[in-house]
Amino acid sequence: MAAIASTYRTDLERLTRELRRAARTIRAGTLSERDATRRMLVAAVQHDLEPQARADEQGLEALRVWTSALQSADVNDVDLLQELLYGMDALVRVHLWRETDLPLTPPEPRSASDV
């Protein structure tokens, strides 16, 4: 597995936090907020994660499929949005593990500020 720059690793860790927070809170958002969240996360994956990936082509392909599904999801379908966001969080975590050889760790309990 290839080593990755620490800034890329930090970006991936930030992305997992953003995906997890979005999945937890997407139901409470307005249609406009859901759409903005969806667009921001799709852009983050497509423009920040994909171009820097080195060692995990299969995982990246799976993430592309889920990202495309999120991009085309109806913002009224909060169940689907939530499922896609949690799935993308898991895919990014596995991608981070494959790219860095760091231990794969499950999400930690959310803090009071993660609401």
Q: Which residues are CB-neighbours of 77 under 8 A, at least 6 positions away?
A: none
Domain of residue 82, CATH code: 1.20.120
**Rounded to two decimals, what is the model's pTM?**
0.84
Using the structure block, give the residue that is written with the tokens 């969806």.
38
**Does any domain span residue 44?**
yes
Helix segments in 26-77, DSSP class H: 31-43, 57-72
> Containing domain of residue 64, as a range?
6-100
Domains in the chain, number: 1
SS3 54: coil
Tens-digit pLDDT profile for the chain (115 aa)?
445 677 878 888 889 899 999 999 999 999 999 999 999 999 999 887 777 777 778 888 899 999 999 999 999 999 999 999 999 999 988 888 887 777 787 777 767 765 5
